Structure 1
Amino acid sequence: MSTPVSSDWPKGLLLAFYGDDFTGSTDAMEAMTAAGVPTLLCLEAPTPELLARFPEVRCVGLAGSSRGRSPEWMEDELPRAFASLAALGAPILQYKVCSTFDSSPEIGSIGCALDIGVKLMHGNWSPMIVGAPRLKRYQVFGNLFAAVGGEGHRLDRHPTMSRHPVTPMSEADLRVHLRKQTARRIELVDMVQLCGPDPAEKLRALAGDDTPVVMIDVLDEETLAAAGRLVWEQRGEGVFSASSSGLQYALAAHWRAGGLLPQTASLPTGKPVQTIAAVSGSCSPVTAGQIRWARANGFRVERLDLQRVLNERAGGGEIERAVNVAADSLRRGESALIYSAEGPDDPAVLEFDVTAQKAGLTRHAAARRVGEALAEVMRCLLDRVELPRVVVAGGDSSGEVASALGISALSAAGGLAPGSPLCRAWSDLPRRDGLEIVLKGGQIGEASFFGSVRQGALLSS
C-alpha cells in the first residue's frame, strides 16, 4: 500500500468506485495508488471485515462486469453494488467507465447506470470526465479522441472502436451518444469555459430542479487539473459520477497542485520471474501484435479451438488440451499464452456469429462461454503449476478469469503500461494469496507487453 495521504483531507474515504469491467477497475486503482492515495480493489462487495485489514485505504473500488451486460441485468445488480459503496461515506461515488466510452442502449448502458446511481447521492449535478491524457484519450468540445500507434483518431473513426464487435462507436460527440441511453439532461463545460476565470459559474447557470450530467473537457495536464478542481470543490453533499479513470487522474492532478500529494506519480518496479502464464480473449489489433511478439520471443502460444469450446460435449476436452500444452511448457521453463483470437480480422472473429449459431448460442452467450473457458484454463493451470505471476488480456476475459480464482481483493504492486498495473491478489486460498496478476485491456501496451509482465518492467519493442 502507498504512503498515507495528507491529513489536510477530510477523514474517511475520498472516493468509492464501481468498475464496469475488471481491466478498467485496475486502471482506476493504479491511478490513485501511483498518485499516493492508498486504494483497494474488491472483487466482491466490500465488507467491514475485509476493509478492517486495510485501515490506511482512502479509496475503495468494486470490480464489476456491467460493460457487457443488458440494462435489465444492470437494474437488478447495480443498485445493491452502488449502495454497498455509497454506505462507505465517500463524497464521490463513481461508476468507472472505459476511456473509449464502450456502451450502447442495449449493452453496457452508461445512461442506465447514471439513472441508478444519481439517486444515491445528494449533489445537484453529476460530473463526467472521460479524457485521460496519460491513456491518450482526449475530449474536446464534447468529442472524444483516442491515439493509437502515435496517431490520433476521432472515436467514430478509430481503427478498433469504430469496429468493436459489441459496442461499435458511430458517434464521437459523447453528448449525442449518451442521449440514446438516458433521458437525463446532458450538459458540457468545454475547455474554453474550464480555463476561464470562474468555471463554476457555468455550473451555477445549469442549476435546476433535476440532476444534470455535466461533461467536462480534458485535453492536457492543465485542463485535467482544472477538471479535478471543479469536481472536488463543487462536490457539495456528495456527487455521483460516471467517468473513466480520467476522474482519478483529474482529482490527483488537483490535489498535487495543492501540495497534498507528491509531485511525481509512481509505482515500484516489479521483479523479473522465469515464467508467466497468460490467457487472451481480446480481439484488438494491439493485443494481436503482442501475441505475435510473444510467439517470436520464446513463449509457447496456443490457440483455443472455438468450435470445440462452444460445443457442449467437446468444450471440456478442448480446455483440458490447452491446459496440458501450457502446463508442459511451463514445467520446461517456457512461458505460455493461450488465446482465442488474433486481431479483428482473424477468421475466428469474422466467423464468430456463424460458429455461435452452429452451437445453438447467441453471440453474447457464446462470448461469455469463451471467457469462461479461458478462466477455467487459468484456474486449472494455477492448480497444477506453481506460478508467481499471470496475465489476462481483454476486459470481459479479465472479469471471467479473476472471478474464477477465489480472489477477494487486489492492490497495485507495480507499474507496467499505463492502465495495466502489476497487482497483488488477496485471498483466503493459500495458493492464490500473494499471486501477482495483470489485467490488460485490449488497447493497452506496447508490442512487448507480455515480455514486460515477465520482466516486471517495461521492455522496448
Structure 2
Amino acid sequence: MQNNSLLLAFYGDDFTGSTDAMEALSINGFRTVLFLDVPTPEMLQQFEGICCFGVAGTSRAKGITDMELELRPVFERLSKVAVPVIHYKTCSTFDSSPEIGNIGKAIELAMDYYSNQKIVPLLVGAPPLGRFTLFGQHFARMHDTVYRLDRHPTMSKHPITPMNEADLRLHLTKQMSVPKSIGLMNILELEGGVDEVKERYDQKAKMGFDILLFDVLDDARMLTSGRLIWESSQESPQFVVGSSGIEYALTSYWKSIGLQPPAGGLLTEHIQSSDQMLVVSGSCSPVTKQQIEIAIQAGFQGIKIPVEQIMNTDELPQNLLNEAIGYLKEGRSVILYTASGPDDGAIIATREHFNRMGLDESQSGEFIGRQLGKWTLKIVNESGVRRIVVAGGDTSGFVTSEMNIFGLEVLLPVSPGAPLCKAYSMEESMNGIELALKGGQLGSPDYFLKIKYASS
C-alpha cells in the first residue's frame, strides 16, 4: 500500500469513540486499523489493502495544557501524511467543556498545521447511533426515546462534562480562546439537486465562516454531506471535526461513486463464542449499570472495586485480583467495576479522595484508567482470558495503553459503535486478544452477553 492510496486518517479523542469510527469504515467495506500512535509508513505496510487508519487518543479526558501536549505532535505528524481527509473524531454527544476535552482548543491547535484551509466542516450527528442535528440543535437517543441534548437523562448530568447546551454552535463558541464564526448548513439547505446544494455550500464558504456545522437527519442528506466534504478534499486536504457521522457520510458517498475496494473492510477470521470473559468498567452511566446488572443475573461474577483500592498506587490489590483470576480459571466470567450508575456513592467518595490527594478532577479519568489497565494486564497474564470488554469512554484509552497494545482492527460489529476487535501487541500474551471498548451510552442492555457469545 502506498500512502497516496489512503482515503482518510482520524484521531479519536477517546478510545471507545475511536473504535466507533473504525467500525463505521470497516463495516462499509474500507479496511481500517486503529493505532495508539501515528503509524510509520513501515507499520502501515504490514496491513494489506488498508484504506484508512486511526489514532486512538485520550484528549477528551484532559485539561487544556495536557491536550496541547498530546495533540501537537499528533497533528504535526498527521499533516505530513498524504491523505485527503484528516478527522478529529469527537463523541457523538459532543460532551466537552472549556476545561475538559475542549474541542474548540483542538480546532485552534489543528489550524497551526492546516493554516491554508478556509473553513472547517463540523458534522456531529450519526443516525446509526441515534444522534441527530436539526437547525444546529443536537439530539441523542436513549433506549426508545430521542432527547434534546440538554434534556438527555445521562448527558445533561455527565459527572465531568454535563451538556447543558443543545445548540452546538453556542456550545463550541464557549470553548474558543479567540472568537470564531460558526455557520450552519441546515437541513433545508441540504435538500435539492446536487448543483443547487453545492452552490449553497460554496456561498457559505464565501461568507467568511471559520467553521461550518452540518445538520444531520437521514441517509440521503448524510450522503450529500459526504459528497460536499469529499469534493472539497480533492482540491486540498480537509481537516474535519465531528463524530463517526463523518465516516458514515463519506463511506456512503465513496460507495456511490465506486471507490469501495473489492477486498472488504472486515477481517475474515473465524470467531467462536467465549466460555468466559472479563469486563472492566470505569463507567458510571445508567446504561452500563443496566448492562452490569443483566450480566450478573446471567451468571457473570460481579466484583465492585472499593474506592480506597482504586486510589492506592503503592501496591496492587492482590486479594481482589486473585479473586477475579480464580473465577476466570474456574471458567466464570467476571465484571470488575468502579461504580453502579450515576447515583453510586462511590463517585462522591472518589472525588473526596482526589481532593485529599490534591489531584484535579480533570485527572480522574487517566488516574482510574491507568490503575484498571495495570490490573487488567495482570489478570490476563495470570488467567489466560482472551476476550475482554472495557467500559467507559474516559478510562478505556488509559486501560488499553497499559495493556501494551499498539493497534486494533474490527472482528465483528456486535453493537453500533462498540464492535469486537482484534488487538495487536508486541507481547505474545496480549497479541490477538479479542477486545471491545464500550462508551458509557452505547450498547443494548444485554451487550456484555452479546460480546461473550459473539461468533462468526
The two structures share one fold, judged by TM-score above 0.5: yes
Deviation at 1:181, TM superposition (A): 1.2
Report the more deviating stretch, 24-33 or 114-123. Answer: 114-123
Match of 1:283 in 2: 284
Match of 2:188 in 1: 192
Deviation at 1:378, TM superposition (A): 0.5
For the 8 Å contact 2:21–2:247, the answer to whether it is kept is yes
For the 8 Å contact 2:30–2:261, the answer to whether it is kept is no
> Structure 1: which amino acid aligns with 2:43?
L
> Structure 1: which amino acid aligns with 2:92?
S
- The CA distance in 2 between the partners of 1:420 and 1:59, in whole Å, is 18
How do 1:386-405 residues align onto structure 2 when only pairs under 5 Å count? 386-405=384-403
> Structure 2: which amino acid aligns with 1:398?
S
Spell out, residue by residue over 1:209-248, the C-alpha distance to the aligned partner (whole angstroms, 9 max, x if none). Answer: 9661111111011111111111111222111111110000
- The CA distance in 2 between the partners of 1:457 and 1:187, in whole Å, is 45
- The CA distance in 2 between the partners of 1:83 and 1:54, in whole Å, is 23
Instruction: Describe the shift of the 1:215–1:251 C-alpha distance in structure 2 as closer, same or farther (beyond 3 A).
Output: same
Pairing partner for 2:359 from 353, 356, 361 = 361
Cα RMSD, aligned residues only:
2.2
- The CA distance in 2 between the partners of 1:452 and 1:258, in whole Å, is 35
For the 8 Å contact 2:225–2:249, the answer to whether it is kept is yes
**Does the alignment pair 1:128 with 2:122?**
yes
Report the more deviating stretch, 406-415 or 145-154. Answer: 406-415
How do 1:236-251 residues align onto structure 2 when only pairs under 5 Å count? 236-251=235-250
For the 8 Å contact 1:425–1:434, the answer to whether it is kept is yes
- The CA distance in 2 between the partners of 1:51 and 1:211, in whole Å, is 36
Pairing partner for 2:63 from 55, 67, 70 = 70
> Structure 2: which amino acid aligns with 1:273?
S
Q: Secondary structure at the match of 2:47?
A: coil
For the 8 Å contact 1:16–1:86, the answer to whether it is kept is no
For the 8 Å contact 2:374–2:403, the answer to whether it is kept is no
- The CA distance in 1 between the partners of 2:379 and 2:250, in whole Å, is 40
For the 8 Å contact 1:310–1:366, the answer to whether it is kept is no
Match of 2:345 in 1: 347
Q: Secondary structure at the match of 1:188?
A: strand
For the 8 Å contact 2:34–2:408, the answer to whether it is kept is yes
Q: What 5-or-longer segments of structure 1 have no aligned partner?
A: 5-9
Spell out, residue by residue over 1:142-201, the C-alpha distance to the aligned partner (whole angstroms, 9 max, x if none). Answer: 110001010010000001110001111110000000111122221110010011332222
Report the more deviating stretch, 300-309 or 359-368. Answer: 359-368
Deviation at 1:355, TM superposition (A): 3.4
For the 8 Å contact 1:186–1:213, the answer to whether it is kept is yes
> Structure 1: which amino acid aligns with 2:251?
A
How do 1:60-209 residues align onto structure 2 when only pairs under 5 Å count? 60-121=53-114, 122-182=116-176, 183-197=179-193, 198-208=196-206
Instruction: Describe the shift of the 1:270–1:130 C-alpha distance in structure 2 as closer, same or farther (beyond 3 A).
Output: farther
Pairing partner for 1:41 from 30, 34, 46 = 34
Spell out, residue by residue over 1:382-406, the C-alpha distance to the aligned partner (whole angstroms, 9 max, x if none). Answer: 1101122111000122111110111
- The CA distance in 1 between the partners of 2:52 and 2:365, in whole Å, is 32
Deviation at 1:208, TM superposition (A): 4.9
- The CA distance in 2 between the partners of 1:42 and 1:210, in whole Å, is 36
Deviation at 1:306, TM superposition (A): 1.0
For the 8 Å contact 1:95–1:242, the answer to whether it is kept is yes
The share of aligned pairs that are identical, in percent, is 40
Q: Secondary structure at the match of 2:414?
A: strand
- The CA distance in 1 between the partners of 2:45 and 2:209, in whole Å, is 34
- The CA distance in 2 between the partners of 1:48 and 1:366, in whole Å, is 35
For the 8 Å contact 1:375–1:401, the answer to whether it is kept is yes
Match of 1:20 in 2: 13
For the 8 Å contact 2:183–2:209, the answer to whether it is kept is no
- The CA distance in 2 between the partners of 1:58 and 1:326, in whole Å, is 39
Report the more deviating stretch, 10-19 or 433-442. Answer: 10-19
How do 1:211-360 residues align onto structure 2 when only pairs under 5 Å count? 212-235=210-233, 236-261=235-260, 270-313=271-314, 316-318=315-317, 320-360=318-358
Q: What 5-or-longer segments of structure 2 have no aligned partner?
A: none
For the 8 Å contact 1:43–1:63, the answer to whether it is kept is yes
Report the more deviating stretch, 443-452 or 83-92. Answer: 83-92
- The CA distance in 1 between the partners of 2:124 and 2:46, in whole Å, is 32
Deviation at 1:94, TM superposition (A): 0.8
For the 8 Å contact 1:270–1:422, the answer to whether it is kept is no
- The CA distance in 2 between the partners of 1:325 and 1:212, in whole Å, is 54
For the 8 Å contact 2:9–2:85, the answer to whether it is kept is yes
Spell out, residue by residue over 1:104-136, the C-alpha distance to the aligned partner (whole angstroms, 9 max, x if none). Answer: 111111111111113323432211110000000
Pairing partner for 2:43 from 47, 50, 57 = 50
Instruction: Describe the shift of the 1:433–1:211 C-alpha distance in structure 2 as closer, same or farther (beyond 3 A).
Output: farther
Number of aligned residue pairs: give it: 447
Spell out, residue by residue over 1:302-337, the C-alpha distance to the aligned partner (whole angstroms, 9 max, x if none). Answer: 001112322455xx353x222111100001110111
TM-score, structure 2 as length reference = 0.93
Q: Secondary structure at the match of 2:87?
A: strand
Deviation at 1:376, TM superposition (A): 1.5
Report the more deviating stretch, 207-216 or 171-180. Answer: 207-216
- The CA distance in 2 between the partners of 1:15 and 1:420, in whole Å, is 20
TM-score, structure 1 as length reference = 0.92
Q: Secondary structure at the match of 1:228?
A: helix
For the 8 Å contact 1:275–1:334, the answer to whether it is kept is yes
For the 8 Å contact 2:12–2:54, the answer to whether it is kept is yes
- The CA distance in 2 between the partners of 1:180 and 1:78, in whole Å, is 20
Report the more deviating stretch, 212-221 or 51-60. Answer: 51-60
Instruction: Describe the shift of the 1:193–1:262 C-alpha distance in structure 2 as closer, same or farther (beyond 3 A).
Output: farther
